[in-house]
Each structure stands twice: as structure tokens, then as C-alpha cells.
Amino acid sequence: MDPGAPALAASVKVLIAGGFGVGKTTMVASISEIPPLRTEEMITELSTGIDDLSGVESKTTTTVALDFGRITIDKDLVLYLFGTPGQDRFWFLWDELARGALGAVVLADTRRLGNSFAAIDYFERRGLPFLIAVNCFDGAPRYTIDEVRDALDLDPSIPVMLCDARDRVSAKNVLLSLIEHLIERATRPNLTTK
């Protein structure tokens, strides 16, 4: 390697996951330094009885495949963001989206906190590190981090934080916290070795 050549930045794939209408597309759009790729379609009456719009009645579009964005953290680290679809009928895409990911953000909505369990279970079963980011919607009930942790029955090692997916700084803080969590897990001594 040429000693005068600039070093290449490490590329890290991160998933932005969670239930239907929790703000995944919004988060990717707010943080991406490139125009985000979106695969949104209008919600029509054909989704009646399929998509549960309770708590998000004003939602008019939905992601049907993925959202994609990119953010350069610094000269050594670039994050590639993949937003997952939230409806159960599109979950077959999650396995492909998760391939090669180093970690995930599970966005949660306190109006429908139970919708977070499927994403949490998905990442726990696959051993993919994640954190919970509670998207603080206007008018939504407010809970402490400990109350959210208890309600979701989370392991104490899983970070939980509050955020506003619309706000670039807030979204960036979530991603930085995820990176810190990934580094901490990678450098933690393995307690099972003899």
C-alpha cells in the first residue's frame, strides 16, 4: 500500500427497524447526507384490515421494501443505513436486509410500544446487537428510559434512549450511541473463556 495514499474509511451497515409507522423512513431521511432512496407507496383502502393504523391514523404512505441512506461519521467511518419495512407482510425482506449488518436501531413509539417486540425478538434470536430509540412523537405519552426498559423486558446491557427521528442531531446521537455499544461489546472480555 502506498504510504502517501489516503486511508479508506470503514463501511458499516446499520439497520433502522421497528414497527409500522414508528419513524424509520423519517430517521433515514433526516440523517442521510445523500438523497435517501425510498420505496414508499400510498396506503389505500386495500390495506384495511391488514395494516393497523391505530395511533397513526394520519399516515398516508408506507415503506414496501427499504429505505437507504448514508452518513459519514468521520474520515474513518461511514454508516450505510437500511430502513426496514414495518408491516408483517414485508418481513421476508428482513433476512436479506440484515445480511452483513453490524447492528441495528429499533425505533419505538410509546403509543404502540408492543409493536417493538417483533423487532427486538428478531435481533435477539440472531445475536445482532441493537439499541432502542424511543421516537418522541408530539402528543405521545412520555415515559422514562427505565419505564420503557421494564415495559419491553430488556436486558440491562441493551441501551435505551429518547430521540426525535425528525431531528438530524438527535438521529446522529442515536447512531453514535449504537457505534459506542458495538465497540463496547466487541471489546468486552469474553466471560465464557477459561
Q: Which of 72, 47, 50 is nearest to 61 (CA)?
A: 47
What is the model's pLDDT at position 179? 95
37-46, 111-120, 134-143: segment of lowest average pLDDT:
37-46
18-27, 30-39, 134-143: segment of lowest average pLDDT:
30-39
Give me the DSSP letters along 56-107: -TT--EEEEEEEEEEEEEETTEEEEEEEPP-SGGGGGGHHHHHTT--EEEEE
Q: In the sheet where 77-83 sits, what is the strand order?
A: 37-42, 61-74, 77-83, 10-18, 103-108, 130-135, 160-163
Measured CA distances, 86 to 10, 118, 178 (Å) = 28, 10, 20
* Percent over 90 (pLDDT), the chain: 55
Eight-class DSSP state of 17? E
Mean pLDDT confidence for 81-91: 77
Pairing between strand 37-42 and 10-18? Answer: unpaired
Predicted TM-score (pTM) of the model is 0.81
What is the model's pLDDT at position 157? 93
User: Does the pLDDT at position 116 exceed 80?
Assistant: yes
Q: Which residues of 124-161 are buried (b: 16+ CB within 10 A; e: fewer)?
A: eeeeebbbbbbbbbeeeeebeeeebbeebebeeebbbb
Contact by Cβ (8 Å): 107, 16: yes
Q: Band of the pLDDT at 193, cuts 50, 70, 90?
A: very low
Cell numbers found for residue 156: 440491562
User: Does the pLDDT at position 42 exceed 90?
Assistant: no
Measured CA distances, 21 to 113, 133, 140, 176 (Å) = 12, 14, 13, 23
**pLDDT tens for residues 64-79?**
457 889 999 888 999 9
What is the model's pLDDT at position 172? 95
Q: Band of the pLDDT at 34, cuts 50, 70, 90?
A: confident
What is the model's pLDDT at position 108? 95
Pairing between strand 61-74 and 77-83? Answer: antiparallel
Mean pLDDT confidence for 138-149: 92
What is the model's pLDDT at position 61? 53
What is the model's pLDDT at position 192? 47
